[in-house]
Amino acid sequence: MTLQSPPLLELYYFDACPYCQRVLKKIDQLKIKVSYLDIYDNTQHMEKLLMITGRKTVPCLFIDGSPMFESLDIMNWLEKHSEQLTKI
């Protein structure tokens, strides 16, 4: 995937999820700007995740509105596109 402009990144997650933690660590390492949506901190986030994807599974990274599941896929995608992403 070639990115035309830096995409909006939104991560649905919760703290106690180990798969989320490894994605959070990768985001931190790469210093990528991401919006965080904790699904237990705010039930509206979980409802939105369920409404859009039909699933409650996290981590889920929305890339310009398109959901990506699987922590390893998300980490690989972030790594691959890191240079084109907005940094903090």
Q: Which of 24, 32, 59, 85 binds ligand GSH (CB under 6 A)?
A: 59
Q: Which of 25, 31, 33, 56 binds ligand GSH (CB under 6 A)?
A: 56
Q: Taking phi first (over 0 means left), then psi (-120 to 50 degrees means alpha), and beta for anything else, what does residue 51 get?
A: alpha
Residue 71 binding ligand GSH, by CB under 6 A: yes
Q: For residues 71 and 78, which CB has a smaller minimum distance to ligand GSH in the complex?
A: 71
Contact indicator for 16, 24 with CB cutoff of 8 Å? no
Q: Which of 19, 30, 38, 68 binds ligand GSH (CB under 6 A)?
A: 19
List of residues 6+ apart from 54 with CB closer than 8 A: none
- Which window, 4-12, 30-38, 51-59, 78-86, contacts ligand GSH (CB under 6 A)? 51-59
Sheet order of strands, 35-38 included:
35-38, 9-13, 60-63, 66-68
Binding-site ranges for ligand GSH (CB under 6 A): 17, 19, 56-59, 70-72
